[in-house]
Structure 1
Amino acid sequence: MSNEDSSSSQPLIGTSSVSTNPRPRDDVAFEDVTDSNFVYEFGGPIGAASMIVGFPLLMAYQFLCVYDNKGQFLMPESAADFLPWAGRMAERYWEIAAPNWAGIKIYLGFTFFMVALAFVCPGPVMYGYKLPSLNGQRLAYHCNALWSWWIAVITSLVLHFTGIFRLTEIIDNLGPIMSVAMIWSFFLAGALYIVTAAKGKKHRASGNLIYDFFMGVCLNPRIGTLDMKLFTELRIPWPVLFFISLSCAFKQYEEIGYVTPESAFMVLAHWLYSNACNKGEECVITSWDIFYELESWYLLFWNLAGVPFSYCYTSIYLLKNGPMEFSTPWVAMCYVLLLVGYFFWDTGNSQRNRFRMFWNNTLIKRNAFPQLPMSFIHNAKFIQTRHGNKLLIDGWYAYARKPHYTADLLMALTWGLIAGFGSYFPYFYLTFFLIVLVHRVGRDDARCARKYGADWDEYMRIVPWKFIPYIY
C-alpha cells in the first residue's frame, strides 16, 4: 500500500454537534443499494422454498407445544406413527388456531389503527441516504412512531379498564390472531411482488420466482407518505409482542389474583424493547434493513408474524405453568442482566446510528423517555474510506464491530432465564436470534469487503472482534 493509500485510511477525528434544523448534506456518498455482484443467499431457491413452507409449520408446531402442551415437545410415538401424528397435530391446530372473526378484528384492527396514527400523529420529518436507485434522491420519513406507540398503549389500557376490549382477549384468541398474521404477511408479500413486477421496477431480482418472492424485489414501497418497510419494521412486531405479554399478565391476575415477578419481568422486557424501537425511529432510517434490504416475504413474515408470535413463548409458558418458585436472588439477577443488556443495546444502537446521522446532518435532539447517558459520542473517531463513508471506531465500537448484537443476545438470554430450565421454548428466541445475527454479520462483512476494499481490512485490523472483545 502506498503512503497516500495508507494515510487515507488512518483514523480521523470528527467534531460533533446537534443541529436544530437539520437538512441532509449533499456531499455524503451514495449508498450502494444496487449491488451488481449478485449471489444467492439463504441456500438459493431451494433454501427460500424450504423457509417459506417451513417457518409457518414451525410456528404452528411451537404454538401447540407452548400454548396447548405447557411448553413440552410434542412427538410421534414412532417413525411409523409420524403421518397419523402429523394429521392429529393439524387437526388440533385447526381446532384452536383457525383464523376467525375475532382474530381478524384484533390483528387487522390494530394494524389499521397504527396505519391511521402514522398519517396523523406529529413528529419530525427526517431524510435518509441518497439512493442511486432514485438518481440520488433522499426519501423523507415522517418519524411519529413514538406518538403512535404511546397512543396505542394508553388507548389499550383505557379499553381494558372500561371493559370495552379486555386485553385478555389477546391471549384467549392468540392462535387465530397468529394465523391471521401469517396469512396477512403472505398476502402483502404477494401483492407487493405483483405490483412491483407490473410496474417494471424490480430491484436485484434473480429471475427465479420463488427466490425473488422470498428475498423481495421492491426497495422502497410507500403508500403516500407512509414508508411500508419502516412501518412494518417498528410499529407492528414489537408493540404486538408487548401486548401479548401484557395480556398474559392480565390473564394471570384474573386467574390467581396477582402478577408474578417473572410475568412482570416479561412485560418490562418487551416494553423496553418496543419503546426503544419507537423512540429511536429516526435512527433506524440509516440502518441496513431500511437502506439496503428489500421489502420481502422474509421481512414481512417475520415482522408481522414471526417476531410477535415466536418471541412471546416465555410469557405464555409462565402463564400456562402457574406461579414459579424461583429464589429472589435468581429473579433479581435476571432483572439486573436485563437492564445491563438494555443499557448497552440502547446506547450502542444510538452511538452507531447517531454517528451516521451526524455526518448526514440529520441529527436532532429528542426528549423521548428514557434518554440514557453515552448515547452520542462527541469528537468520535472514525476511518474515512475512499468510498466516502466513515466507519465508527469509538465508544462501544472501539471494542467490537457489533456490540449492540452482543447486548441484544444478553437480553434474549434473560428472557429464557426468567422461566428457568423446564422447557426449551423460552430459549427459542435466543437460539434463533443467534443464528440470524451470525448469518447477518457474515453477509455484512462480505458486502463491506466488496464495498470498502483495503479500508475494510484496516477497519478489521483496528477492531478485530465481532461480538465480544478477545473472545469472538
Structure 2
Amino acid sequence: MSAVRQRKSEAQESLGDSSKMTASLAKAEDAAHQGYDFGGPFGALAMMTGFPLLMWYLYISSTYYDGLFAWPAANQTWSEFGRQLWHYWLEGCYPTWQAWAMLWIFLGIQAVFYVTLPGVWGHGLPLAHLGNKALPYYCNAVYSFYTSIVLAFVLHVTGLFPMYTLIDRFGEVMSVAIISGIAISFGLYFWTIYMGHEHRMSGNFIYDVFMGANLNPRTGIIDWKMFFEVRLPWFILFFTSLSAAVKQYETYGYVTPQVMFVLYAHWLYANACSKGEELIITTWDMFFEKFGFMLIFWNMAGVPFTYAHCTLFLINHKPEDYEWSTAYNVFLFVTITVSYYFFDIANSQKNRFRQQRLGTMIKRNTFPQLPWQTIKNPTFIKCKNGSTLLTSGVYGWCRKPNYTADFIMCLTWALMCGVASPLPYFYPVFFFLVLIHRAYRDFERLERKYGEDYQEFKRQVPWIFIPYVF
C-alpha cells in the first residue's frame, strides 16, 4: 500500500478516536512560559504606546492632510506643527459622550444578541489546566451580524440613528475604542491576578499585560475572547463601510463602484467570521493565545480603525477623484472573490479536519457553503505525540495557503484606492509583516512540538506561501 493510501486509511480509521491525541496536544500546548516574543518587554511597551499614537496620526493624516502623511509645512516649526496636530485631535478625535454611547451601546447589544439569538454549540481543543476538558462555545455570530444589519436600517429609516453617523464621528469613536481597549487590558490583567487564574506568566509586568494573563475569560455562555475576535473588529469595519456608502448616497444620490467594493470586501470578511464561527473555536487564538492587550486592543481598536483607511480615503474624496476604468474595477472584484474562495476553504479544510479528528465537527447551512470546504479521505502525517499534520487539500500545495489568500484580499482593498494616498496601503504592508511574524512563531512552535515529524511534513509540503515559488 502506498504511503498516501495508508494515510487515507488511517484517517478514516481514526476519526472520532481522539483520546490519545487530545491528551498529547493539551499537554504540549499548555506548557510554562517559553521565552519572550514580540521583542520582549521593550517591544511590548513600544507597541502599547506606539499603536494608539499611530492610529491618531494616521486618522489626522487621512482627514486633514488629504491622505498624505502629516508633516510640518515649509514655513512651520515643529512646535507649531505639534500644536496643529493637537488642534486636529481635539476637533476630530476627542472622545465625546456621544461616541462613548455609540461604542458601548453597540457592545451591549452584541452581548445581548450573544445570549438570546439562536445558534449552535461547539467544543474547542482540550485544555490541560482543565484536565483535558474541551470548553463549550455558543456560536451565533451569523445571527447577530444580520440582526444588527436589520436593526441598523430600522434605526436609519426611522431617523433615530442615521447610519452615516459612524463615518461622521469615526475619529471620536476610534478614541473611545483606544481608551477602552487599554483600560480593559489592564483591568482584566489585575482581575485575573486577583482571582488566581493566570497562565504561562513571564514575571515581567508590561509583557504579561501585553500578552495577557487569562486564557479563557467567560461570563455565563459568553466567551469574551471569541466575542472580541469575531463580532467587534469585523462588524465595526463592515458598518464603517456601510456608513460610508449611505453617506455617499445621501450626498451624491449614488454609490460609486469603489465604495461598493470595500463594502463587499468587508462583508466577505465579516460574514466569513460569522458563518464559520464554529471553526474559529479550535484555532490558535482561542486555544493558546492569552487575552491581553495584543488581542483586546487590536480587536477592539486596531483592526476596525486602521483597516478602514481605504474607506476613509474614498469617503474623504469626491467620486471624480478615483474614477477607474470598468476593466480595472472588474479585475479587482474578480481577484478578491477568487482569493476569498481559497481563504474560506483553506480555513475550513484545516479546522474541519481538526474537528473530524476530535469528533466535534458541526455541519451548518450558513451562506456560503463552498465546494471543497471539507476534505474527503484526508492525507496526513500521524505524529509520535498522537497529533497529526494535514498534507492534503490546499495544505498539500503549501503550508500557509490561508495567509496567501488573506494577503491578496487585503491588497485589493488598497489597490481600489489607487496611488494618490499611501494610507490605504498601511493595512497590506502591516498585515504582510504580521503574517511573516506569525508564520515564524508557528513554525518555531511546530518544530518544538513535532520534532522529526515536522521535518517530514516540510519534506512533503516544501512551499510556505505560494506553490513552486515560495
TM, length-normalised to structure 1:
0.94
Q: Paired residue for 2:458, among 433, 457, 460?
A: 460
Deviates most, 133-142 or 396-405: 133-142
The letter of the residue matching 1:414 is T
Counterpart of 2:100? 104
Equivalenced residue count is: 461
Q: Does residue 317 of structure 1 match 2:313?
A: yes
Match of 2:21 in 1: 28
User: 1:419 is matched with which residue?
Assistant: 417
Question: 2:392 is matched with which residue: 391, 394, 402?
Answer: 394
| Cα distance, 1:429 vs structure 2 | 0.9
Tell me how far apart the structure 2 counterparts of residues 401 and 271 of structure 1 sit (CA, whole Å).
27
Per the alignment, residue 409 of structure 1 pairs with 407
Write the distance in 2 (CA, Å) between the matches of 1:253 and 1:414: 23
Distance apart, 1:25 and its partner CA: 4.8
Equivalent positions of 1:277-292 (< 5 A) are 277-292=273-288
Deviation readout 1:136-193 (Å, 9 max, x if unpaired): 1110101111111111111111111222211100011111100111111112111110
Deviates most, 269-278 or 87-96: 87-96
Distance 2:195 2:8 in 1: 44
Q: Is the 8 A contact 2:22 2:358 kept in 1?
A: no
Q: Tell me, what secondary structure is at the counterpart of 1:370?
A: coil
Q: Matched residue of 2:88: which SS?
A: helix
Q: Which moved more, 1:304-313 or 1:182-191?
A: 182-191
User: Given the alignment, which residue of 338, 348, 362 partners 2:336?
Assistant: 338
1:77: how far off?
A: 4.2
| Separation of aligned partners in 2, 1:455 and 1:33 | 17
Which is richer in helix? 2
CA RMSD of aligned residues (A): 1.9
Distance 1:13 1:55, change over 3 A: farther
Matches within 5 A, 1:46-61: 46-61=42-57
- Runs of at least 5 residues in structure 1 that lack an aligned partner in the other structure: 1-6
1:69 to partner: Cα distance: 2.4
Which of 138, 152, 166 pairs up with 1:142? 138
* 1:117-136 → structure 2 map (5 Å cutoff): 117-136=113-132
* Residue 40 of structure 1 pairs with residue 36 of structure 2: yes
Question: Are 2:217 and 1:221 equivalent residues in the alignment?
Answer: yes
Alignment partner of 1:269 is 2:265: yes
Contact 1:14 1:380 survives alignment (8 Å): no
Cα deviation, residue 79, structure 1: 12
* Identity of matched residues, %: 43
Decide whether the 8 Å contact of 1:12 with 1:383 is kept in 2: no
Q: Does 1:94 align with 2:87?
A: no
Q: TM-score, normalised by structure 2?
A: 0.95
Q: Does 1:237 align with 2:221?
A: no
Separation (CA, whole Å) in 1 of partners of 2:185 and 2:228: 12
- CA distance, structure 2, for counterparts of residue 56 and residue 79 of structure 1: 28
Q: SS of 1:194's equivalent?
A: helix
Structure 2 residue matching 1:210: 3-state secondary structure: helix
Letter in 1 for 2:89: Y
Q: 1:79 to 1:129 in 2, by over 3 A?
A: farther
Question: Following TM superposition, by how much is the alpha carbon of 1:249 offset from its aligned partner in structure 2, in angstroms?
Answer: 0.8
Query: 1:409·1:430 contact (CA, 8 Å) conserved in 2?
Result: yes
* Cα distance in structure 2, aligned partners of 1:52 and 1:405: 25
Measured at CA, do residues 16 and 375 of structure 1 come closer, stay the same or move farther in structure 2, by a change above 3 Å?
A: farther
Is 1:166 the equivalent of 2:162?
yes
1:439 partner amino acid: H
2:110 corresponding residue in structure 1: 114
Q: Which runs of 5+ in 2 are unaligned?
A: none
In 2, Cα distance between equivalents of 1:29 and 1:366: 24
